[in-house]
Amino acid sequence: MTNNPFANVLQYFTTAADHLELDKTWRERLQDPDRVIEHEVSFELDSGKKKKVHGYRVQFNNARGPYKGGLRFHPEVAIDEVKSLAFLMALKCAVADIPMGGGKGGAQVNPKELSGAELERLARGWVQAFYHDIGPDKDIPAPDVYTSPQVMTWMVDEYSKIAGTYTPSSFTGKPLGKDGSEARDYSTSQGGFYVLRELARKLNLNPEKTTVAIQGFGNVGYNAARILNQAGYKIVAVSDSKGVLYDKRHQGMDPDNIRRQKEEKGVIGNAYCVGSVCDVEHYTELSNGDIFKLDVDIIIPAALGGVLTRENADTVRAKAIVELANGPVTPEADAVFEKKNIFVIPDILANAGGVIVSYYEWFQNKQDEHWDEDRVLDQLKANMVKQFNNIWTIHQSKGVPPRTAAYILGVGRIVEAMQ
């Protein structure tokens, strides 16, 4: 089994490059990042002592526009993972047809060990170290693991101080009151919903009769559950790091009630935690991996990468998988799904709603505009549906799996821009 996320992306890239008949020179130019930048980030602890941590930014490809991608504060940095995520961002922006390139970065630090004031000084320290590498026309970071809209606000403030002028377009994912965009907080799930709905039409799935299991009940998983529930789909299983909550009757659960209970009692895996929400006779607790074995129509991985592998792919009974997480399916599992005729909407399309609305945020900041929610959602819907249909056409005409079709679309657009 391939465990290296960069090797996985490279494998998909190579298949697309074969279809596009790219020569060796093109392949080499496309598969290596433009720059891997590393700086020491220095900030003051509450004790008055100075702390230095390792900061990094991978700028993958900017042929289509400025680099764009998240920043994470995490104690471990696996450079292969960062490179693969930066590559995915470049491809995602191309598939979404937005004028942005791909990047990813962060700092090697455990934010849970920092006070709020220390976190702020770290965020400002990161900007001081990387000021010359980033900027609204060069590289625009956004939140990722353990970096929130609040962190983006501190970063914009620091960037603006150094630049000598207020520059909200230097970062996206900001809070609404601080030049953020309407709908940004749920745009990844909303975009995923638009493409899932297109697929449901192609597969003749009636929402009221379609059952869905979602792995992960964080920002993306919860919002996907909420949006799908509102559209009439039956959410029959949700999970978090502690376990799975499964509605055995397949009547559908109310995601808002689950969230309320989870917030109050802190767990999701124990059916009894949901008390009044769920009739315990009909709800059951499963162990984490079991969510993929359930007899449901659609599976949505919305937590971690590499969760559907050669080991468990055979147990999947769903008709479709919608990748809201980044890289949840390994190439070996993909091959099994292709054989079993399980349609996978790949991450570089399924979860592109987040970066699309990030681009709208950047655009609004640049134009000094604020679009209302309907305008943001109308544009997001039009774009997601258009790209779904582009990928569907390649999938049908070339007889390739949807992921290969998405890579052919994304790589082809980057090559066109480089040419």
User: Catalytic site residues?
Assistant: 104
Comparison of 7 and 145: residue with beta carbon closer to ligand NAD: 145
Choice from 302, 391, 400, 414 touching ligand NAD (CB under 6 A): 302
72 forms beta bridges with 106
Quick one: tokens of 38? 């590393």
CB of 348 to ligand NAD, least distance (A): 10
Q: Which residue is nearest to ligand NAD (CB)?
A: 218
Q: Does 41 bind ligand NAD (CB under 6 A)?
A: no
Give how many residues touch ligand NAD by CB under 6 A: 20
Choice from 8, 31, 84, 239 touching ligand NAD (CB under 6 A): 239
Q: Does 78 bind ligand NAD (CB under 6 A)?
A: no
CB of 351 to ligand NAD, least distance (A): 4
CB of 16 to ligand NAD, least distance (A): 21
CB of 154 to ligand NAD, least distance (A): 19
Q: Does 218 bind ligand NAD (CB under 6 A)?
A: yes
Q: Report whether 272 contacts 307 (CB < 8 A).
A: no
Choice from 156, 183, 325, 391 touching ligand NAD (CB under 6 A): 325
Sheet containing 35-44: give its strands across: 35-44, 50-61, 102-108, 67-74, 139-143
Identify which range of 38-46, 277-285, 320-328, 386-394 contacts ligand NAD by CB under 6 A.
Answer: 320-328
Q: Does 3 bind ligand NAD (CB under 6 A)?
A: no
Identify which range of 15-23, 36-44, 159-167, 234-242 contacts ligand NAD by CB under 6 A.
Answer: 234-242
CA 35 to chain centre: 22
Q: Considering only residues 174-203, where is the footprint of ligand NAD by CB under 6 A? A: 188
Q: Report whether 69 contacts 57 (CB < 8 A).
A: no
Q: Does 391 bind ligand NAD (CB under 6 A)?
A: no
Q: What are phi and psi of 55, to 5 degrees?
A: -110, 150
Task: State the DSSP string of 78-143.
Answer: -HHHHHHHHHHHHHHHHHTT-S--EEEEEEE--GGGS-HHHHHHHHHHHHHHHTTT-BTTTEEEEE
Q: Does 384 bind ligand NAD (CB under 6 A)?
A: no
Q: Report whether 360 contacts 96 (CB < 8 A).
A: no
Q: Considering only residues 254-293, where is the footprint of ligand NAD by CB under 6 A? A: 288
CB of 220 to ligand NAD, least distance (A): 3
Tokens 């006070």 belong to residue: 115
CA 245 to chain centre: 23
Q: Does 356 bind ligand NAD (CB under 6 A)?
A: no
Sign for the CA dihedral angle at 331, 336, 339, 343 comes to: negative
- Helix runs in 289-352, H state only: 310-313, 331-339, 347-350
What's the Cα-to-Cα distance from 161 to each of 90, 130, 155, 208, 381, rounded to whole Å?
29, 14, 10, 53, 36
Q: Contact positions toward ligand NAD, by CB under 6 A?
A: 188, 215-221, 239-241, 288, 302-304, 324-326, 351, 354
